[in-house]
Structure 1
Amino acid sequence: MFIYYLISIIIIAVDQLTKYLTVENIALHERVTVIPGVLSFTYHQNTGAAWSILEGQMLFFYIVTVIVVGVIIYYMQTAAKGDPLFALSLSFFLGGAIGNFIDRLFLQYVIDMIRLDFINFPIFNIADMALSVGVGLMLVYLLVDEWKNYQKKKAGHTHE
């Protein structure tokens, strides 16, 4: 399981490094174009969750994040053992959750900076990306798991 915690730590480190570099190099609300019409960086302070929902509800975020992190660690230590895809998805959830929690705890907001200029999409950060990848991996895991269960049931019915 060590490798999965290491993945979480790497996600947290990259997230915090990009946030530090953003604060040090980009003025609040300034837009720095990387690929015209595709990608830019904009320093944004988000006091809510995704798409700025529940703005200013820091106590709620503290409580929810602590519970979520506890549940993720519990599942990593129990159900995810021996299941690499499940463990990997949980490691991305853990890294993303802790990355944004650090901001909320010390700054009272989350630093966002990645802006997709070709679509009307909220500004986000590495922790948000990790959470999204975690969701994608979890969906793949659930689909594969359901397929395996279906195949087992199907094989069991043909031998009767």
Structure 2
Amino acid sequence: MNLKKSLIIIFLILLVDQISKIYIKTHFILGESIDVFDWFKIHFIENDGAAWGKKLSDFLPISDSVGKLILTIFRLFAIVGIGYWLWDIIKKGSPKTLVLAVSLIFAGALGNIIDSVFYGILFDHSNGQVATMFSNEPYGNLFYGKVVDMLHFPMIDTTWPDWVPSLGGKSFRFFEPVFNIADTAISTGVGILIVFNKKAFPKPEKTEEV
């Protein structure tokens, strides 16, 4: 896969990701949810932490604002590294499977970084109101934006039977996390690397000695 095709994939993912996030942000109140199917909901939440909504301040003795800044800066360094990796494997003519996977991971990471870096100065808050884009009273500062999530697939929503030790009577939902298009791209890219590992990283053929 050449650079042009990789850039097209990245552009299309970013386009869909940002359009969906901006639409949700400017049409939904935080926490609002609509049922598309019994197993699929559009549920608007904002994530200012790491994976699964966790924050660095949950693990380190730092404030939420410092943790958020560190996380955003880390993401910026990470996207530079992923971008260099992508450029390098394309330059070396690596397998299409590897280039596709890294393109998806790069696009997804960049999509969420856009939220983290810019959304705090582009929108006002969504608490009890629909946010306005290019607001005169943004909810945050540069590098302090929150990632917009909206895709929710509660395919199983039930209660553990009473006879199950320690879990009986407690609610059980699968799939619990709420995510976005960028997250989907990252997960798909990682999944490709795991499932098609041998195609992505083929072993060099051994030359027989004469």
Alignment TM class, shorter chain as reference: 0.7 to 0.9
Identity %: 29
Provide the residue aligned with 1:51 in structure 2: 52
Provide the residue aligned with 2:153 in structure 1: 116
How many residues are aligned here?
Answer: 154
Whether the 8 Å contact between 2:30 and 2:44 is mirrored in structure 1 is yes
Q: Residue 121 of structure 1: CA displacement?
A: 1.9
Provide the residue aligned with 2:74 in structure 1: 64
2: CA distance between counterparts of 1:96 and 1:75?
A: 15
Over 6 Å off, 4+ runs: none
Whether the 8 Å contact between 2:148 and 2:180 is mirrored in structure 1 is yes
Question: How big is the alpha-carbon RMSD for the aligned residues of Structure 1 and Structure 2?
Answer: 2.2
> Scaled by the length of structure 1, what TM-score is found?
0.85
Provide the residue aligned with 1:99 in structure 2: 111
Q: Residue 123 of structure 1: CA displacement?
A: 0.5
Q: Residue 145 of structure 1: CA displacement?
A: 4.9
> Scaled by the length of structure 2, what TM-score is found?
0.66
More moved, 18-27 vs 110-119:
18-27
2: CA distance between counterparts of 1:52 and 1:73?
A: 25
Which ranges in structure 1 are unaligned for 5 or more consecutive residues? none
Q: Residue 116 of structure 1: CA displacement?
A: 0.6
Provide the residue aligned with 1:32 in structure 2: 34
Provide the residue aligned with 1:84 in structure 2: 96
| Rg comparison, structure with higher value | 2
Q: Residue 142 of structure 1: CA displacement?
A: 2.3
Provide the residue aligned with 1:134 in structure 2: 189
Instruction: Give the direction of change, closer, same or farther, for the CA distance of 1:25–1:12 in structure 2 (3 Å limit).
Output: same
Which ranges in structure 2 are unaligned for 5 or more consecutive residues? 57-63, 121-144, 156-173
1: CA distance between counterparts of 2:4 and 2:195?
A: 22
Q: Residue 49 of structure 1: CA displacement?
A: 1.8
2: CA distance between counterparts of 1:84 and 1:52?
A: 33
Whether the 8 Å contact between 1:80 and 1:86 is mirrored in structure 2 is no
1: CA distance between counterparts of 2:175 and 2:6?
A: 33
More moved, 47-56 vs 104-113:
47-56
Instruction: Give 3-state SS (helix, strand or coil) of 2:41's partner.
Output: strand
